[in-house]
Amino acid sequence: MDSSVKRRLTLGFISSWISKLASTIIQLIQVPVFLHFWSVPVYGEWMILNSIPSYLSFSNIGFGSVAGNEMTMLVARDDRQGALRVFQSCWWLIAIICTAVIAFLSVVLYYIPAARLLKIHNIAAYDAKWIIFYLGVSVMLGQFEQLLQSAYRCIGRYPFGSFIKSMMSLSAFGCMILAVVFGAQPRTTALVFACANVTGTVALCILVRHDIPWMEYGWKHASFAEIRALTRPAIAFMGFPIGNALNLQGTLLAVGYALGPTAVVIFGTARTVSRVALQMVQMVNTTFEPEMSIAYGARNFPLVRTLLRRACQLALIVAFVIVLGMMSVGPWFLHHWTGGHVPPSRILLDILLLVVILYSLWSTSSVLMTSTNQHQRLATYYVLGTGLACTLCYFLARRFGLYGAASSLLVSEIVMNLYVVPASLRISRDTFPAFVASMMHYPHFLRPAALLARIRRSAPGLES
């Protein structure tokens, strides 16, 4: 890898770290704050209502993500005109879809007794509908943010785009927390959060236009043929938000139906702690993803192989280190983090941490497939695996409690590893033996001898 790639990877890693730090701060702060100002049943029902709008994230059929990959590969081949054509085409398509989805959501909420169907008793039925609507609008605006971030990604400034997104997330979260602290009830809290996200999206639109003058808004370069060419990978991309919703919110709903809202809080907080390790792995993925698009777009397969190997190696190292640390301090942290409101369980936490280990290899390998729009079969396997895990979660929770619910999550991780690793090696034109051997080969600056030499240079007195 040349110096420019290493520099972008370094900045990307820092921006990803900031992004995950922001996400971790949000997850760590919101639980004790909500439990302090709201009762456990109310917070449990808020989590259930909060899980519903996430299903709307697949409504743009993945055009935002696919467009970002395509724009990056086009700019890597010096085709800015093509990148602008993709941007404008997808912008208007997403605008039309989001408008239609919000209108449909309004009609559905007007006629459907959402609170009764979700077994909501501590939040008023009328308020429950408005909470879903406000949070749904916030989710739909996220589709524009993804496309706007792609504008920075395609010109190699993805660290800056990620940083801006992190600041927007923290600002929206801060507004929501302040609303809770000042006595806002769930409905008002959802409205404040949605308004903060609307403001952030408008600000990002203005910033992109200022920083990238050739990335123009409008419909002059929009093309239906461009949308048609991206339709197949975009439809496939829809499987990832569906799978994520099944894996995250679907399992919470399954636990809620099987064991009640109190069990949702116990399961959700334990998984939040375990996902600290998972988010560190995702940080590696987001760092390498833009570079994989650039290298593949330029048909630089030696660099593609190197990026894939180093990404998987780093993800495994991060996963093992963080998981070992969380196994040691996780139960203690969980007890103090929730102020004793949620009983910690070492076995439950250990099962959820094992999920992270299995996740780290396939998720990092899959980045090469998603970043080059070769993810059609990957999305199918992901939906099938998470769907099976979500179904098992309900039945195992009924039979074995929270331990059974956590064990069900292992199913999707096993399914994904069996498919993703060989498929990614074919794309990078690598072999399995060479890939495994590369996992044992560390960069020079990480080798023990090199580390010892650096220590000795920094502290000469140790040589004696």
DSSP-assigned letters across all residues of 357-405 = HHHHHHHHHHHHHHHTT--HHHHHHHHHHHHHHHHHHHHHHHHHTHHHH
* Confidence grade of residue 451 (pLDDT, cut at 50, 70, 90): very low
pLDDT given for residue 412 in this prediction: 81
What residue segments make up the domains of the chain, in order of their start?
A: 1-230, 238-442
Mean pLDDT taken over the chain: 83
Q: Give backbone dihedrals phi and psi of 83, rounded to 5 degrees, phi first.
A: -65, -40
pLDDT given for residue 453 in this prediction: 55
**Structural tokens at position 21:** 């730090």
* Confidence grade of residue 1 (pLDDT, cut at 50, 70, 90): low
* Confidence grade of residue 461 (pLDDT, cut at 50, 70, 90): very low
446-451 average pLDDT score:
48
Q: Which residue has the tokens 């059929």?
A: 61
Tell me: the pLDDT tens digits for 329-365? 878 887 777 777 777 778 888 888 888 888 998 999 9
396-401 average pLDDT score:
89
CA separation for the pair 261, 253 (Å, rounded): 9
Taking residue 86's Cβ as centre, other Cβ atoms within 10 Å add up to 29
Q: Does pLDDT of 14 surpass 90?
A: no
Taking residue 417's Cβ as centre, other Cβ atoms within 10 Å add up to 18
Tell me: the pLDDT tens digits for 283-311? 888 889 888 988 888 888 999 999 999 99
CA separation for the pair 370, 216 (Å, rounded): 26
Q: Which residue has the tokens 């942290």?
A: 333
Calculate what percentage of the chain has a pLDDT beyond 70.
Answer: 93
pLDDT given for residue 120 in this prediction: 84
Tell me: the pLDDT tens digits for 199-235? 998 899 899 888 888 888 888 888 888 888 888 888 8
pLDDT given for residue 192 in this prediction: 93
Q: Does pLDDT of 55 surpass 80?
A: no
pLDDT given for residue 178 in this prediction: 92
* Confidence grade of residue 447 (pLDDT, cut at 50, 70, 90): low
248-258 average pLDDT score:
87
175-190 average pLDDT score:
90
357-383 average pLDDT score:
90
pLDDT given for residue 218 in this prediction: 80
Produce one character per residue of 5-37: b if its CB has 16 or more CB atoms within 10 Å, e if not: beebbebbbebbbbbbebbeebbeebbbbbbeb
Amino acid identity of residue 15, one-letter, is: S
pLDDT greater at residue 159 or residue 459 = 159
Closest CA to 201 of 64, 74, 11, 49: 64
pLDDT greater at residue 442 or residue 133 = 133
* φ/ψ bin of 147: left (φ > 0), alpha (ψ from -120 to 50), beta (otherwise): alpha
The pTM of this model reads: 0.69
16-39 average pLDDT score:
80
DSSP 220: S
